[in-house]
């Protein structure tokens, strides 16, 4: 997890870290990260995709879905992946999820794994982002920018009108990685973090309505219009960050061509489509008891993998409850454990 950019840095510089906020003038760039309580972004429901560099179309990938991590090789149609390819790379990866094998729970990732340091570094950056975007100094600059630019605080949530770019000094653990894409659902928000060529691209969206268990939609952030500088960081502040910028997202339909489709050669899997199945057992009732317990045993099939456990879905379920049952199960997915893969 070693940071790049200077021989004089010590091991404490390997992770993004929060520092005390300077009491400097509002117009000056204070150093370090702010000190308010860090939003625990890494603990939300998370999907993370790590795509390693390759000399051909087959890429080693890691896929984290909730508590569980899977790895393997998938055909992404090209040896060279760019930021503009992300909207089609993730769906292509998901369509080949049968090629992935269960690896481990994300908190039990072996330190020797090639994905251990990138995951830990990514979630350290999550902490940095949570602290930085909730800091008073960044909030002041965003409020001022919203008064001057309508795109900063737009009401159109259907597409990202703006995004943050957090430039870093680079990390050795990301040297062999083409792209990282992560999506976290926490506190009514959807946080998208994308790593590409030493920069972290961040999008905040409202998590309105029911969210799918597996959401493969990621925006194309390869082009932008106006930008607002929010923060610069000193080389000696231990964060390994360079600067934070808010960009106005470009309208792809007007400013550039849509991402090229990836020509993926897949094996014939006719008759074995991608499947999600939820089995919910009745609640057991103790003999002589008039109370109906709300804890139920469930089985969840996610593609090739099955998970089992007990979740609280209420004492009584009806057909009309289906639209809310699955989100309730998803929020309690940490109570489930993997049992057997489906061959």
Number of helices and strands in the chain (H, E): 5, 14
Residue 34: per-residue pLDDT: 37
- Dist CA 327 CA 316 (whole Å): 16
Q: Which two tokens stand for residue 281?
A: 């057992």
| Token pair 């994905």: residue | 115
In whole angstroms, give the CA distance from residue 254 to residue 22: 42
Residues 6+ apart with CB under 8 A from 292: 283, 285, 315, 316
36 SS3 class: coil
258: pLDDT strictly greater than 50: no
Q: What is the pLDDT of residue 273?
A: 62
Q: For residue range 26-35, what is the model confidence (pLDDT) as tens digits?
A: 333 444 443 3
Using the predicted structure, report yes or no on whether residue 295 has a pLDDT greater than 90: no
Is pLDDT of 117 > 80?
yes
Average pLDDT over residues 105-126: 92
pLDDT band at 339 (very low <50, low <70, confident <90, very high): confident
Q: What residue ranges do the domains of the chain occupy?
A: 11-255, 276-341
> What is the per-residue pLDDT for 208?
65
Q: CA 196 → CA 176, 221, 244, 252, 275, distances in Å?
A: 12, 11, 15, 19, 31
What is the distance in angstroms between the CA of the first residue and the CA of the last residue of the chain? 36
Cα 27 to chain centroid, rounded: 33
**For residue 185, what are the CA distances in angstroms to 41, 208, 227, 331?**
8, 11, 26, 10
Say if CB 14 and CB 3 are below 8 A apart.
yes
Neighbouring C-beta atoms of residue 98, cutoff 10 Å: 17
d(CA 171, CA 137): 27
Q: Are strands 162-168 and 241-249 parallel, antiparallel or unpaired?
A: antiparallel
pLDDT tens by residue, 55-86: 999 999 999 988 889 999 999 988 999 999 99
Question: Apex CA 237: angle with CA 232 and CA 242, to 5°?
Answer: 35
Question: Is 341 in a helix, a strand, or coil?
Answer: strand
Rg of the chain, C-alpha, whole Å: 22
- Supply the DSSP string of 142-193, one letter for each residue: HHHHHHH-GGGG-S--SS-SEEEEEEE--BGGGTTEEEEEEEEEETTEEEEE
How high is the pLDDT of residue 41?
60
pTM of the model: 0.66
Decide: 224 and 249 in contact? Cβ < 8 Å: yes
Say if residue 209's pLDDT is above 80.
no
Q: Beta partners for 3?
A: 171
The SS3 of residue 112 is coil
- Express each pLDDT in 137-147 by its tens digit: 999 999 998 88
Q: Which residues 6+ apart lie within 8 Å of 16 measured at CB?
A: 33, 124, 125, 127, 128, 168, 239, 240, 241
Q: Which of the pair, 287 or 206, is modelled with greater confidence? A: 206
Place of tokens 């870093």: 168
């Amino acid at each position: 997890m070693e940071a790049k950019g200077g021989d004089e840095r010590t091991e404490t510089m390997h992770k993004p870290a929060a520092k005390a906020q300077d009491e400097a003038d509002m117009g000056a760039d204070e150093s370090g990260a702010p000190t308010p309580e860090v939003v625990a972004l890494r603990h939300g429901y998370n999907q993370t995709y790590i795509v390693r560099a390759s000399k051909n179309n087959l890429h080693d990938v890691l896929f984290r879905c909730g508590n569980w991590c899977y790895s393997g090789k998938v055909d992404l149609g090209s040896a060279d992946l760019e930021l503009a390819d992300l909207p089609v790379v993730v769906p292509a990866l998901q369509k080949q999820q049968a090629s992935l094998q269960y690896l481990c729970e994300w908190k039990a990732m072996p330190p020797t794994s090639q994905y251990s340091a990138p995951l830990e570094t990514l979630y350290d950056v999550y902490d940095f982002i949570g602290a930085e975007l909730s800091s008073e100094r960044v909030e002041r600059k965003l409020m001022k920018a919203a008064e001057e630019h309508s795109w900063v605080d737009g009401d159109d949530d259907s597409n990202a009108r703006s995004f943050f770019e957090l430039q870093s000094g680079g990390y050795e653990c990301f040297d062999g990685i083409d792209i990282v894409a992560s999506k976290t659902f926490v506190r009514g928000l959807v946080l998208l973090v994308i790593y590409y060529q030493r920069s972290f691209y961040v999008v905040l969206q409202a998590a309105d309505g029911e969210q799918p268990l597996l959401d493969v939609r990621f925006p194309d952030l390869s082009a932008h219009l106006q930008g607002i500088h929010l923060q610069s960081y000193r080389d000696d502040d231990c964060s390994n960050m360079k600067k934070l910028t808010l960009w106005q997202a470009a309208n792809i339909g007007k400013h550039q061509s849509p991402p090229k489709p990836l020509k993926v050669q897949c094996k014939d899997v006719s008759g074995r489509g991608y499947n999600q199945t939820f089995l919910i057992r009745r609640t057991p009732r103790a003999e002589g008891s008039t109370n109906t317990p709300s804890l139920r045993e469930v089985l969840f099939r996610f593609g090739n993998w099955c998970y089992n456990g007990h979740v609280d879905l209420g004492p009584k379920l009806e057909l009309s409850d289906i639209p809310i049952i699955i989100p309730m199960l998803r929020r309690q997915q940490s109570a489930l454990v993997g049992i057997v893969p489906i061959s």
